[in-house]
Amino acid sequence: MHPMLNIAVRAARKAGDFVAKSFEQTDKIETTKKGNNEFITNIEADAQYILVDMIKKSYPDHSIISEESGLIEGKDTDIQWIIDPLDGTTNFVKGIPHFSVSIAVRIKGRTEVACVYDPIRNELFTAQRGAGAQRNNQRMRVKELKDLSEAIISTGFPYRHKQHTESFMKVVGALFIEGSDVRRSGCASLDLCYLASARMDGFVELGLKPWEMTAADLIAREAGVICTDFVGGTDYLKSGNLVAGSPRVVKAMLKKVRENGNEAMMK
């Protein structure tokens, strides 16, 4: 195992175990609403401290990017750890046991290692660039489908960008009509990992943040998933707009996005 992936896994498990224990002690959860339909809890702050502390003990000069702290710049700016101590905060707050801890390491702008940990199911998804993706040490591979009619598509609604709601719901509606079914779990990182492990067949979402998808993106791609933005390009980590699946599914999904999305969504 890559030494940085080893540290990432150890950190994710430690933070994840803390989050899982906190999930069972609702009286200790302090929740604050920020923005539209977004929550932040004291548990996230504590879990982030666990992640940063473990990373800095092993790699004190590396930079770290997170939702709550932004950029924690180190002496070595070529190496960035992108962390999310709790993806699926709303699920956590509402008592829904579906959330994750995500960690990715980017070196000179390219993601090299990644892990996503589901502490409730004790499922660890990992990847190293060029070495494939695994779930609990078992190799994963995206499922190849003949067409969209067989596909179960996972998605998330654009609660940060409600101006696109009408157009995005047309996209989802078109995918539902032509596809097999649609799921919305509330945790994008696990959606992509489920796609990588053939539990889902496609994924589409608008307005994702880097810490929500960078780790899962590498895991998905190493499992053979095609990831694009809404125009079929590779700028999705910047735009936050992602379409993912096997080649035929992505081609069909992009067609529905183009037919039903508005011009502003494509930027």
Q: Tell me, what amino acid is at 84?
A: D
Q: Where in the chain is the domain with CATH 3.30.540.10?
A: 3-139
The tokens for 73 are 């710049």
Q: Where in the chain is the domain with CATH 3.40.190.80?
A: 148-266
137 CB neighbour count, 10 Å cutoff: 7
What is the sign, positive or negative, of the torsion defined by CA atoms of 243, 249, 251, 255? negative
Angle at 102 between CA 98 and CA 106, to 5 degrees: 160
- Pair 210, 65: CB distance under 8 Å: yes
CA–CA distance, 134 with 139 (Å, rounded to integer): 4
Task: Say if residue 84 carries a ligand binding annotation.
Answer: yes
Domain range 3-139, CATH class:
alpha beta
CA–CA distance, 156 with 97 (Å, rounded to integer): 17
The tokens for 13 are 């498990």
Contacts of 9 (CB under 8 A, 6+ apart): 1, 115, 117, 124, 126
16, containing H or E segment: helix 3-23
Q: pLDDT tens string for the chain (267 positions)? A: 789 999 999 999 999 999 999 998 877 788 877 665 667 788 999 999 999 999 999 999 999 998 777 888 888 889 999 999 999 999 999 999 999 999 999 999 999 999 999 999 999 999 999 999 999 999 999 999 988 999 999 999 877 777 778 889 999 999 999 999 999 999 999 999 999 999 999 999 999 999 999 999 999 999 999 999 999 999 999 999 999 999 999 999 999 999 998 776 776
Query: Is CATH 3.40.640.10 the right assignment for the domain spanning 148-266?
Result: no
Q: Report pLDDT for 121.
A: 98
The tokens for 215 are 């780790």
Task: Say if residue 86 carries a ligand binding annotation.
Answer: yes
Task: Say if residue 118 carries a ligand binding annotation.
Answer: no
183 CB neighbour count, 10 Å cutoff: 13
> Phi and psi dihedrals of 37, rounded to 5?
55, 30
CA–CA distance, 162 with 182 (Å, rounded to integer): 20
The tokens for 138 are 């078992």
Residue among 134, 112, 122, 133 at smallest CA distance from 2: 112
> Phi and psi dihedrals of 70, rounded to 5?
70, -135
Task: Say if residue 5 carries a ligand binding annotation.
Answer: no
Q: What is the DSSP string of 142-170?
A: PPP-SSGGG-EEEE---TT-GGGHHHHHH
Residue among 214, 198, 208 at smallest CA distance from 246: 198
